[in-house]
Amino acid sequence: MTSTSEPKLPRNHRLVLDLIRNDHQHLTVADVYTRARAANPKIGYTTVYRALQRLTDLELIRAFPSVDGKYTIYDRETREHGHFACERCGTLIDLDFTLPEEFWRPFELEHGVEVHSPALLLKGLCANCRR
């Protein structure tokens, strides 16, 4: 549980964190900004951006590049996890399964690399796009 050791945050940072936690999606900076503006019309883009960076540094949220590499996605789930990514609309769904060690250990040895995240990325079509 991270909530027990959560640091005291500036009001706007707390607002951004709550927005991400209350949302079931994976959000871009633009998504967070739109939602933050709805809650506090005075909040600026830079404030939202800095809040996201700080919250990521504090490991209260996670940041990773989108599948096309164009955006940073912010995720309220901070545990190691993979994603299913829709190739058509970009929707991401959390995947509570990482590649077992017996698969990536031999890969490390073969290529002399060090794996830091065995999280998987599955790609395909989401339920909406399949229709």
In the bound state with Zn ion, the residue whose beta carbon lies nearer, of 30 and 89, is 89
Binding mask 57-96 for Zn ion (x = CB under 5 A): ------------------x-x--------x-xx-x--x--
**Separation between Cα atoms, residue 12 and residue 14, nearest integer Å:** 5
In the bound state with Zn ion, the residue whose beta carbon lies nearer, of 20 and 75, is 75
In the bound state with Zn ion, the residue whose beta carbon lies nearer, of 18 and 23, is 23
Report the nearest approach of Zn ion to the CB of residue 66 (Å). 12
* Contact call for residue 18 and Zn ion (CB under 5 A): no
| Nearest alpha carbon to residue 85 among 61, 66, 62 | 66
Report the nearest approach of Zn ion to the CB of residue 41 (Å). 29
Burial category of 13 from C-beta neighbours within 10 Å (exposed 0-12, middle 13-18, buried 19 and up): buried
DSSP-derived secondary structure for 4-55:
GGPPP--HHHHHHHHHHHH-SS-B-HHHHHHHHHHH-TT--HHHHHHHHHHH
Residues near Zn ion, by CB under 5 A? 75, 77, 86, 88-89, 91, 94, 126, 129
